[in-house]
Amino acid sequence: MAEHTETFRKHERLCSKKAIELLFEKGISVTSYPFQVIWTFSNQDSAAPAKIAISVSKKLFRSAVKRNAIKRKIREAYRRKKYILYDFLTSTGKSINFILIYRDRRIPDFREIEKHVDDVLRKLVSSVSTSKE
């Protein structure tokens, strides 16, 4: 395993409205309950091998406090586990953009989120490795 840092910086976040729209139009979907991941290869030169956006449905969680709490837990779990994805992407020279969508109706604890994020990142690695650019 390559050396990795457990940070989550601005250049690792997917903020571009165009890039997010492109994900929903042409992205590949991978589901690992309670998450859905939509990803696509990135054609931009970026400082990070993966750019991520995190989404929690307003329809499922009307309270912004609850939505933001879930997103904070997901971001923290991703920050700790992103080396799974980064090691693969840097070794293959690929770059991706993806959105992580939380689909469950209940508020999970952090350990549960961390386990599910680990599972979904491993599934995403296998999906990227079998897909062609």
Of 6-10, 18-22, 104-108, 112-116, the range with the lowest mean pLDDT is 6-10
124 within a domain of the structure (yes/no):
yes
Instruction: With a cut of 60, say whether residue 95 has pLDDT above it.
Output: yes
pLDDT in tens, 12-65: 999 999 999 999 999 999 999 999 999 999 877 778 899 999 999 999 999 999
pLDDT of residue 106: 94
**Within a domain: residue 34?**
yes
Q: What pLDDT score does 123 carry?
A: 96
CA angle 60/15/105 to nearest 5° reads 15
Bridge partners of residue 13, in order along the sequence? 52
∠ CA 105-106-109 to the nearest 5 degrees?
145
CATH number of the domain at 108, please: 3.30.230.10
Total domains in the chain come to 1
Report the pLDDT averaged over residues 110-127: 96
